[in-house]
Amino acid sequence: MPDGGSFITGQSFPALVLNADFRPLSYFPLSIWAWQDAVKAVFLDRVSVLNEYEAEVHSPTLSMRLPSVIALKEYIPAARRPAFTRFNVFLRDRFECQYCGEGRPTHDLTFDHVIPRSRGGRTTWDNVCTACGPCNLRKGNKLPRECHMQPRQAPRQPTSWELQENGRAFPPNYLHESWRDYLYWDSELES
Ligand SMILES: [Zn+2]
């Protein structure tokens, strides 16, 4: 096992992690591992290396180029029911307020209970939707028909596949060129 020590300064060399079917384990957030974890997985024989950075790690006995794209050897099935989390609700709604339609960064988004909790509404997939602060405030404790604010899409539980597809619409902040083929392979085939 090479010990990278502190040879890398200012660069993190993340590895894109693909499932055994060569599609990203997750699109959003994009599945990436720190190089330390990627190298460890290579040595444990859990992943195949599909692409590498120029940068190398050295140990007294060997040197190794850092993997930039790795694929799991064992397929991990997507959870059939996505977890009901804050993030997944935003992802289902594509980070857009369901009342005014505006897209916003996560920290500007809130939840709205379509039927307010004070009126018996529950915190479930089909009663919670993404809302911006101003819309949430405007809606307050009113029912949709009382304030004429209907969510653009009736909230419901998404499938894991739908969340994955929504996630693909959001390009990651960091994108190494060796990742492109794995992230956009079907769009390139179309063009
Ligand atoms: Zn809004």
- Whether pTM > 0.85 for this model: the answer is no
pLDDT tens-digit map of 93-127 = 999 999 999 988 888 899 999 999 999 999 999 99
Q: Which domains does the chain have, with CATH numbers?
A: 15-76+170-183 (no CATH), 86-158 (1.10.30.50)
User: CB count, 10 Å around CB of 108?
Assistant: 13
Residue 28 Cα to ligand 1 middle (Å): 23
pLDDT, residue 4, reads: 43
Q: Please say if the pLDDT value at position 32 is more than 60.
A: yes
Tell me the mean pLDDT in the region 156-163. 91
| pLDDT at residue number 185 | 54
Tokens coding 97: 């307020």
What is the whole-number distance in angstroms between the Cα of residue 120 and the centre of ligand 1? 23
